[in-house]
Amino acid sequence: MTNLNEIEWTEAENATLLIPSAMMGNYVARVARQIRWRRRPYAQHPNALEVQWVEPRKRKWRGTVVTPGNLAMIVEGKFPELAQDLLGAEERNEATGVSIRRSRYASFAPEWQRDIEAAVEGRKLSVLERYDTTR
What is the number of domains present in the chain?
1
> Position 26: which residue type?
N
Q: pLDDT for 35-64, tens place per residue?
A: 999 999 999 999 999 999 999 999 999 999
pTM over 0.85: no
**Is the confidence at residue 25, as pLDDT, over 80?**
no
**Is the confidence at residue 84, as pLDDT, over 80?**
no
Q: What is the structure's pLDDT at 37?
A: 97
- Which of 31-48 are b and which e, b meaning 16 or more Cβ less than 10 Å from the residue's Cβ? bbebbbbbebebeeeeeb
**45, 84, 87, 95, 99 from 53: Cα distances, Å:** 22, 20, 27, 49, 39
Range of the domain at 43: 4-132
Residue 135 pLDDT level (bands cut at 50, 70, 90): low
CA atoms within 13 A on the CB side of 44: 0
> Position 64: which residue type?
T
